[in-house]
């Protein structure tokens, strides 16, 4: 059903200028962004993004609540992979007031509470409220577009087309840590990740490819 919708959206997008920028919010956001790009060769794939800022904001919120800190004092939050239960909110590089998160909370809390809470937050809200977090998604979309357009030196998370960074298959849409300038984004490369993190990225990358198979869209040619 989503494939039909986004094939139609890609056709409508052909009327836009080639430098149009897009952010896909509807789920499965990563695969929908891939479909949108695959059926529209006019728009630069780099200009099609998907929303993982909602997950990023949730991660910041959870760290803030746990450490009694304000969001502006939390750095190093990064979401990798799919906007799904396999997404990975990386834990190694988070700092609160310039202190490593490991000095403030236990590794057990990070692995057994923080990561699953961020991954499952959407389902938790639906269960408790009887509806999705549409206003949080709207707010995250504003954050995504504001930082993309106005620029930010602070690392944020965006779903963008992979160029093979961090072992994510080239050509799929994945969340990465980015900075933005002049209505462009740059994936931050070279961040040292733990084996635990790399294993999580492999799991979510596998799911991204499987979703393409489910949508009957060819996998990217590597």
Tell me the CATH class for 53-204.
alpha beta
pLDDT of residue 212 exceeding 90, the answer is yes
Secondary structure class of 61 (helix, strand, coil): helix
Please report the beta strands in 18-146, taking only residues with DSSP state E, as ranges in sequence order. Answer: 22-24, 48-50, 74-75, 78-80, 88-90, 95-96, 99-100
**Cα(128)–Cα(185) distance, integer angstroms:** 35
Known catalytic membership, residue 144: no
**Cα(197)–Cα(139) distance, integer angstroms:** 28
Q: What's the whole-number mean pLDDT along residues 101-108?
A: 96
pLDDT of residue 221 exceeding 90, the answer is no
pLDDT of residue 138 exceeding 60, the answer is yes
**185: nearest Cα among 150, 148, 154:** 148
- Which position among 34, 56, 83, 144 bears the catalytic label? 83
**Cα(199)–Cα(202) distance, integer angstroms:** 5
What percent of the chain shows pLDDT beyond 90?
Answer: 87
Domain ranges of the chain: 2-50, 53-204
Retrieve residue 119's tokens. Answer: 């991954």
Tens-digit pLDDT profile for residues 61-86: 999 999 999 999 999 999 999 999 99
């Amino acid at each position: 059903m989503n494939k039909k919708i986004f094939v139609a959206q890609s056709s409508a997008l052909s009327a836009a200028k080639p430098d149009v920028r897009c952010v896909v919010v509807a789920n499965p956001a990563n695969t929908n962004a891939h479909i949108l790009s695959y059926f529209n060769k006019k728009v630069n794939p780099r200009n099609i993004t998907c929303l993982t800022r909602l997950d990023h904001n949730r991660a910041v919120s959870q760290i803030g609540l746990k450490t009694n800190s304000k969001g502006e004092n939390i750095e190093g939050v990064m979401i990798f992979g799919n906007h799904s239960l396999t997404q990975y909110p990386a834990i190694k590089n988070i700092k609160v007031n310039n202190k490593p998160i490991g000095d403030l909370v236990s590794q057990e809390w990070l692995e057994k509470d923080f990561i699953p809470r961020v991954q499952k937050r959407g389902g938790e809200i639906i269960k408790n409220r009887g509806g999705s977090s549409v206003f949080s998604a709207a707010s995250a979309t504003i954050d995504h577009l504001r930082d993309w357009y106005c620029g930010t030196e602070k690392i944020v998370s965006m779903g963008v087309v992979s160029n093979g960074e961090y072992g994510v298959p080239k050509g799929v849409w994945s969340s990465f840590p980015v900075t933005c300038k002049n209505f462009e984004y740059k994936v931050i490369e070279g961040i040292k990740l733990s084996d635990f993190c790399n294993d999580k990225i492999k799991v979510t990358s596998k799911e991204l490819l499987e979703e393409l198979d489910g949508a009957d869209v060819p996998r990217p040619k590597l």
